[in-house]
Amino acid sequence: MLEQKYDVLKQSLQALGDVVIAFSGGVDSTLLLKVALDTLGRDRVLAVTADSETYPREELRAAQRLAAELDARHEVIATSELAIAGYAENTPNRCYFCKKNLFVNILPLMERQGYHHLAFGLIADDMGEHRPGVKAAQEYRVRAPLQEADLYKAEIRELALHLGLSNWDKPSYACLSSRVVYGEEITLVKLRRIEESERYIRSLGIRQVRVRVHGEMARVEVEPDAMPLLLIQHDAVSRRLRELGFKWVAMDLGGYQSGSMNRILVTAVGDGAAK
């Protein structure tokens, strides 16, 4: 089954002829870039990374390193989500503005360099989640080859390992804005506070972490097997996050959950809303 999906992915990319990959450096977009390079060749593939306030410096450096490992043509463009009308207000469709801004900034680059297709790392798992960015992709005819091949995260990691990608087991990541509860304004100060808080917690040996912001409280999510380490270091973590500006620091006993902020959408509009 996985081999068949892999074949579908390669055929889909081959049919495009050329492609620009919106490249974040995560395992999904890295696999997409790798298969595009293998299928189309280096001269017909371009990786583009958006450098913005919501994208940590560590992630940018990792994306640059991965692109170099793959010998991919790679360009970094400067963008600003906070400059987008409606973004900082942090409504539930915030990601629509973000993805639209990304695509709008990449399209002129595509035209100048003679590319005809744009693709991003949407996967099959994402279709069951609250993903306003998908609407923007549809509006700008951005392809999602991994999702079109019905590839799920576990399968993507398996393929990435098989193809020798160094980040095959990299923890899932999302932009820093996703840490701020809907309805609370997103500011540069909050984004830097989140970035430094998560960097510090990772420095303790915890791979997957989210520091969710609820006003002046930080709600820390880590995977269940990392909770004992977080508890051992609770004094240091609390002290550091308070130094960064939080008044209260709490550990979520439910553990890390992708998209946990979306639970508020169900509460707000009833059981017929996002699941």
Domain assignment present for 270? no
Domain assignment present for 34? yes
pLDDT at 73: 98
Residues 155 and 198 in one domain: no
Residues 139 and 182 in one domain: no
Tokens of 96: 């629509």
Report d(CA 176, CA 248) in Å as an integer: 19
Bigger pLDDT: 263 vs 98: 98
pLDDT digits (tens, 9 = 90+) for 152-197: 999 999 999 999 999 999 999 889 999 999 999 999 999 999 999 9
Residues 219 and 146 in one domain: no
Domain assignment present for 273? no
pLDDT digits (tens, 9 = 90+) for 37-81: 999 999 999 999 999 999 999 999 999 999 999 999 999 999 999
Task: Report the percentage of the chain scoring pLDDT > 70.
Answer: 93
Q: For residue 192, give the CATH number of its domain.
A: 3.30.70
Asked whether the beta carbons of 131 and 99 are under 8 A apart, the reply is no
Residues 140 and 23 in one domain: yes
Residues 74 and 137 in one domain: yes
Domain assignment present for 171? no
195: DSSP letter: H
On the CB side of 220, CA atoms within 13 Å amount to: 30
End-of-domain residue from the set 129, 163, 197: 163
Please state the pTM of the whole predicted model.
Answer: 0.90
Residues 112 and 62 in one domain: yes
Structural domain count, the chain: 2
Residues 91 and 198 in one domain: no
Domain assignment present for 91? yes
Residues 112 and 219 in one domain: no
Asked whether the beta carbons of 50 and 105 are under 8 A apart, the reply is yes
Residues 104 and 212 in one domain: no
Q: Which residues are catalytic?
A: 175
Residues 24 and 139 in one domain: yes
DSSP string, 55-85: S-HHHHHHHHHHHHHTT-EEEEEE--GGGST
pLDDT at 262: 65
Domain assignment present for 260? yes
pLDDT at 268 over 80: no
Domain assignment present for 275? no
Domain assignment present for 70? yes
Q: Which domain holds residue 241?
A: 176-265
Q: Which long-range contacts (CB under 8 A, 24 or more apart) does 105-113 make?
A: 105/50, 105/77, 105/79, 106/20, 106/22, 106/48, 106/50, 106/77, 107/140, 109/20, 109/48, 109/75, 109/77, 110/20, 110/46, 113/46
Q: For residue 72, give the CATH number of its domain.
A: 3.40.50.620
pLDDT at 131: 78
Residues 147 and 201 in one domain: no
End-of-domain residue from the set 163, 193, 215: 163
pLDDT digits (tens, 9 = 90+) for 220-248: 999 999 999 999 999 999 999 999 999 99
Residues 145 and 187 in one domain: no
pLDDT at 13: 98
End-of-domain residue from the set 132, 163, 194: 163
